[in-house]
Chain A
Amino acid sequence: MSKILSKPKSMKDSSTHYCAGCGHGIVHRLICEIIDELGIREETIGIAPVGCAVIAYDYWNFDVTEAAHGRVPAVATGIKRVAPENIVFGYQGDGDLAAIGTAEIVHAANRGENITIIFVNNAVYGMTGGQMAPTTMLKQKTATTPLGRDQKTHGFPLKVCELLSVLPGVSYAERVSIHSPQNIIKAKKAIKRAFQNQIDGVGFSIVEVLSQCPTYIGLSPEDSVKWVAETMIKEYPLGVFR
């Protein structure tokens, strides 16, 4: 019998702290598989966000730095500008990228920095205890929207790919989802392209990954996946935006 599946070299031999059914583990693994496949593990510098993925460096088997909340694209800019030979990618959640770090992502994108951003959108804050994210759905109940998100007081779900797609500095922006095996395969393809773009010097690439947070969506892992498929995708259509 031959071994057909093994842990990517880019992944450390440790189990994650993520909740059961969380999407972060899947996205971590996709990134690591791609880094292995592209043979760039020894050139890669990853940037972990503030949020649930804050200790991603404990799972990734390549150089990783932290960044202050929302500042991943600025840190990435600093690294990539002084070392174009390194592959620099940022991993950000919805609070990190779309709330506190809005200025950083917009301007790194607008400058067309040759970096790769993986943006995990699960419509809620995890680390801090289930508060409203900028991408929380209307009527969605969270720790800070106990009656559901109301646009009158909380505004609307923020559509990052749509927003960035109008910027000429953006080379590639795609939204994918990981709610099914087929979609995971598509997500991997998109993330791979975002890395390949950097290798080819094409410029700023971002992949928004719709993901599930069973704990704070308040559903079972199975139902939370269904929620992404049936509810989230309606608000956040999949596809290539630029």
Chain B
Amino acid sequence: MAKKVLMCGNEVLAEAAIMAGCRFYAGYPITPQNELPAYMSRRMPEVGGVFIQSESEISAINMVFGASLRGTRAMTSSSSPGISLKQEGISYLAGCELPGVIVNVMRGGPGLGNIAPSQSDYFQATKGGGHGDYHQIVLAPASLQEIVELTMLSFDLADKYRTPVMILGDGILGQMMEPVELEDSVERTADSEKKSWILDGCKGREPRKIRSLLLEDGSLETFNRKLQKKYTEIKDKEVRCEILYGDDSDIMVVAYGTTSRISRNAVEKLRSKGKKIGLVRPISLWPFPEKELRRIAEKVKSFLVVEMSCGQMIEDVRLSIDCKKPVHFYGRSGGGVPTEDEIIKEVEKIV
């Protein structure tokens, strides 16, 4: 077993990316994710990778675009206002079918908001924050150990499906330290030989082009249908979610990331009092665990969605279950973090 270390979430994520073979990072400072670029600036040169502090968020995502089309595993990170700026580049990654990992350590918004933890970029992340008919895979870790797991997974998924993948965290997960094991396995590096689509000079082959511009009549529609086919495959294969007490609960709490940790403790406390409460924790926010929720909706009386927002994921919960059961909501916004007691009180109100 690897030795446990105490690192903050931002650093853990950076190290996990390096373990996953990420060899290009570009980013622009913004709180609360500053430890991530700082860590990369030190570690990347040690592993023969590239670190660039870019002039803007826009440049950072486009540098990732460049490194990725050359076959290198590449990542950028930011927090909410910065992620808004990256949307153009994410749309181009999707349109050009390039892999890329984007980290959003969410803070309060709208506008400059504040630097406190938040989950109010759910819509932006899961509904396609940029322009056009596209999706990105969105993974939401709830602990530092899961940051390791999901960061490594995100690079694999990005390559496998040639798509942008977002890791959606928040100020708490980025800033907090808790014991974590960094896998001791051999460092993996992306094998660019396997990528048959990269631009590396046309030696011994026909020249390639990477583009999202499709002007010929009908060609963009054809391409978008192809993208949708890929998204359908992702929906079939890449849903990840954790269910607690799914078989004998009257009320199911639904929460992801930081709020799922807090909800879990609330659920356990209620269980110890004999209350029939369970938890659904979506790990992939896109694709969303629709089928799992639909199945659970057959058994439970109602749902309680808990978010650090004014109500965003709740829409996906309602859609998933076709509004067949009541869906209640408890949210804190602008830096407010729900407590176990608040969640327990909400559940008791419903009971």
Contact = CB atoms under 8 A, between A and B. Distances in A.
Interface of A: 41-45, 48, 54-55, 57, 60-68, 71, 74-83, 86, 103-104, 106-107
B203 interface: yes
A60 B202 CA distance: 12
A65 B67 contact: no
B200 interface: yes
Nearest to B206: A61
B92 interface: yes
Given A63-B201, A81-B50, A82-B50, A74 B63 contact: yes
Interface stretch (B145-153, B207-215, B337-345): B207-215
Given A42-B204, A67-B65, 8 more contacts: A63-B201, A67-B62, A74-B65, A76-B66, A78-B65, A78-B69, A82-B50, A104-B58
B88 A107 contact: no
Contacts of B243: none
Given A66-B210, A103-B55, A74 B62 contact: yes
B211 A65 contact: yes
Contact of B66 (A57, A61, A77, A103): A77
B72 A82 contact: yes
Interface string B23-56: 1101000000000000000000000001010111
Contacts of B55: 103-104, 106-107
Nearest to A48: B211
13 contacts: A42-B202, A44-B201, A62-B207, A65-B66, A65-B199, A68-B62, A71-B58, A71-B65, A74-B60, A74-B65, A74-B66, A82-B66, A86-B70
B63 A83 contact: no
B24 A63 contact: no
Nearest to B204: A42
Nearest to A10: B207
Contact of A66 (B52, B74, B211): B211
Contact of A41 (B54, B202, B209, B215): B202
A78 B56 CA distance: 14
Contacts of A82: 23-24, 50, 66-67, 70-72, 74
Given A74-B54, A78-B62, A65 B203 contact: no
Of the candidates B26, B72, B199, B200, the one having the most CB atoms from chain A within 10 angstroms of its own CB is B199
- Residue among A48, A54, A83 facing the most chain B CB atoms (10 A cut-off): A83
A45 B201 contact: yes
B31 to A, nearest CB: 21
A98 to B, nearest CB: 16
Contacts of A61: 202, 207
A78 B213 contact: no
Contacts of B215: 55
A149 B65 CA distance: 36
A65 B63 CA distance: 13
B96 interface: yes
A104 B66 CA distance: 13
A48 B92 CA distance: 14
Nearest to B72: A82
B59 A79 contact: no
B63 A77 contact: yes
Contacts of A60: 207
A74 B59 contact: yes
Contacts of B69: 65, 75, 78-79
Give me the 10 closest cross-chain CB pairs, A-B, nearest first. Answer: A78-B66, A74-B62, A107-B55, A78-B63, A42-B203, A75-B66, A71-B62, A78-B67, A63-B199, A57-B209
Contacts of B89: 68, 71
B52 A77 contact: yes
B202 A62 contact: yes
B201 A43 contact: yes
Contacts of A78: 24, 26, 62-70, 74
B59 A71 contact: yes
- Most chain B CB within a 10 A radius of its CB, from A57, A74, A86: A74
B70 A45 contact: yes
A54 B209 CA distance: 12
Contact of B70 (A42, A66, A79, A104): A79
Contacts of B66: 65, 74-80, 82
B95 to A, nearest CB: 9
Given A78-B67, A79-B69, A103-B55, A63 B62 contact: no
B119 to A, nearest CB: 28
A75 B213 contact: no
